């Protein structure tokens, strides 16, 4: 009987511990910020579908659109870029992603490869790191990543045990905490602004340096990334994504150091490398949301260039007509609706026109002859549209947007000089 009573006590203790642990982790998941969930959900749930992964920081997030690659080439991909991450953090993003998927190709942006820091060691950097670490279960792998990246003991605890900082979010909890909204952008984020670039041009890339330091922290972790892919039989493509200098000395210094360093690493490793700073597929006048990040128009151009390169140089399956096609076609329909909604909510003329540069849309524009006079951004944005007409009696910049495939009118807006807006949606 005593043995039986002891067994019952042990069982009860185990149940209490189990319920406590379940409650703790449940509260942790509820109170943590949901960006990690949003960015990783489809990667974790549907990992077997992805043939290509895109790795980098926010430059990558805003520059490559997986749904466009699927529409144009049938390539199934996921953008696992992370805001504010340096190359060492990107290594652990890749390591985590490869626990859930086995792509044929990994495309890595090498922005800030010259940095010797492993991560930003301030609260902003920690907030960025949560978008990766919060979605990784507590495990030896997570402990190893945090101990390697973060030297500060307090920040280590925060990343390993996020409930310690999220437990006081009760008053902030909203609908998105209980039902996070998962977009169909497959990890990408569309930039919806148009940056007022006032520079005289973007400096040309520096030539390959024979004395480039290939022993720095960024290079070592890029080598770890490429070796991880090589062990799994995954091809690697390096890219350097474009941005205008905007007068920012730090960005200009990064660009001056990053490009020759990447070129030297690529040459030594025999890995293909595309330096988009040297290509003519983008414009500083219309293609950026700010001085670092591409907008929807710029992202489409980079995505098209990447897609054409992948089609020509890699044997990637066109999934539009196979078993994956049905689910991805439905995803694309939802993605198209998301794009429509974002367009119709836009109240800035430049931004609205920028979002109209979409192959899924048919756009008709009418305006007075002098409406865009002296407005360089507006002139450039109008120049790229198919149907633009000028009329003396036009009451402003009138834009009618339709679905290209069906011809159905999505909506129309009229912008006048006083920035008043009249709107009609159908």
| Mean per-residue pLDDT, 12-22 | 52
- What pLDDT does 2 receive? 59
| Mean per-residue pLDDT, 407-419 | 85
- What pLDDT does 253 receive? 84
Question: Does residue 295 surpass a pLDDT of 80?
Answer: yes
- What pLDDT does 373 receive? 80
Residue 27 banded pLDDT, cuts 50, 70, 90: very low
CA distances from residue 220 to 117, 150, 253, 302 in whole angstroms, order as listed: 12, 17, 20, 27
Cα(227)–Cα(403) distance, integer angstroms: 45
Question: Does residue 242 surpass a pLDDT of 80?
Answer: yes
| Mean per-residue pLDDT, 34-58 | 88
- In this structure, are residues 186 and 67 in contact, taking their beta carbons and an 8 Å threshold? yes
The mean of the pLDDT values for the chain is 85
% of the chain with per-residue pLDDT over 70: 81
Beta strands 77-79; 52-55: pairing state? parallel
- What pLDDT does 22 receive? 43
Residue 134 banded pLDDT, cuts 50, 70, 90: confident
pTM recorded for the entire structure: 0.86
Q: Report residue 339 CA to chain centroid gap.
A: 16
- What pLDDT does 20 receive? 46
- What pLDDT does 167 receive? 45
Cα(152)–Cα(214) distance, integer angstroms: 27
Question: Does residue 283 surpass a pLDDT of 60?
Answer: yes
**84-93, 173-182, 263-272, 356-365: least confident range:** 173-182
| Mean per-residue pLDDT, 202-223 | 70
**What are the backbone angles phi and psi of residue 351, rounded to the nearest 5°?**
-65, -40
- What pLDDT does 177 receive? 44
- What pLDDT does 259 receive? 93
- What pLDDT does 335 receive? 97
Q: Which two tokens stand for residue 285?
A: 């006048």
Residue 21 banded pLDDT, cuts 50, 70, 90: very low
Q: Which two tokens stand for residue 48?
A: 């077997």
Residue ranges of alpha helices (H) inside 270-295 are none
Question: Does residue 142 surpass a pLDDT of 90?
Answer: yes
- In this structure, are residues 102 and 232 in contact, taking their beta carbons and an 8 Å threshold? yes
Cα(90)–Cα(80) distance, integer angstroms: 9
Residue 6 banded pLDDT, cuts 50, 70, 90: low
Three-class DSSP labels, 255-282: HHHHHHHHHHHHHHHCCCEEEHHHCCCC
Cα(412)–Cα(356) distance, integer angstroms: 11
Question: Does residue 123 surpass a pLDDT of 90?
Answer: no
- What pLDDT does 169 receive? 44
């Amino acid at each position: 009987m005593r043995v039986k009573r002891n067994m019952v006590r042990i069982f009860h203790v185990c149940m209490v511990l189990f319920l406590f642990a379940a409650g703790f982790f449940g509260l942790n998941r509820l109170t943590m910020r949901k960006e990690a969930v949003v960015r990783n959900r489809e990667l974790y749930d549907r990992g077997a579908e992805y043939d290509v992964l895109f790795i980098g920081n926010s430059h990558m997030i805003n520059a490559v659109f997986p749904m466009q690659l699927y529409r144009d080439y049938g390539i199934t991909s996921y953008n696992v870029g992370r805001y504010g991450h340096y190359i060492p953090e990107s290594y652990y993003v890749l390591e985590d992603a490869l626990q859930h998927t086995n792509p044929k190709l990994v495309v890595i942006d090498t922005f800030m490869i010259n940095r010797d820091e492993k991560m930003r060691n301030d609260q902003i950097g920690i907030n960025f790191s949560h978008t990766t670490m919060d979605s990784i279960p507590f495990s030896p792998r997570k402990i190893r990543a945090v101990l390697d990246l973060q030297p500060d003991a307090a920040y280590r605890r925060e990343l390993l045990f996020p409930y310690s900082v999220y437990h006081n979010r009760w008053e902030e909890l909203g609908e998105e905490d209980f039902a996070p909204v998962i977009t169909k952008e497959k990890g990408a984020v569309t930039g919806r602004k148009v940056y007022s670039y006032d520079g005289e041009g973007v400096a040309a890339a520096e030539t390959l340096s024979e004395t480039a330091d290939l022993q720095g922290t960024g290079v070592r972790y890029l080598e770890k990334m490429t070796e991880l892919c090589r062990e799994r039989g995954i091809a690697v493509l390096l890219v350097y994504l474009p941005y205008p200098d905007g007068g920012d000395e730090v960005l200009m210094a990064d660009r001056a150091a990053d490009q020759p360093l990447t070129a030297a690493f690529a040459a030594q490793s025999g890995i293909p490398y595309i330096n988009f700073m040297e290509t003519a597929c983008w414009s500083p006048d219309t293609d950026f949301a700010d001085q670092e990040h591409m907008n929807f128009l710029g992202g489409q151009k980079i995505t098209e260039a990447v897609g054409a390169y992948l089609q020509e140089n890699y044997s990637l399956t066109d999934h539009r007509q196979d078993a994956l096609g049905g689910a991805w076609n439905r995803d694309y329909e939802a993605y198209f609706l998301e794009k429509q909604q974002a367009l119709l909510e836009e109240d800035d003329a430049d931004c609205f026109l920028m979002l109209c540069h979409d192959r899924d849309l048919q756009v008709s524009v009418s305006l007075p002859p002098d409406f865009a006079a002296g407005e360089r951004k507006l002139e450039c944005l109008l120049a790229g549209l198919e149907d633009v007409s000028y009329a003396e009696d036009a009451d402003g910049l009138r834009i009618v947007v339709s679905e290209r495939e069906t011809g159905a009118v999505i909506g129309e807006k009229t912008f006048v000089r006083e920035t008043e807006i009249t709107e009609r949606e159908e």
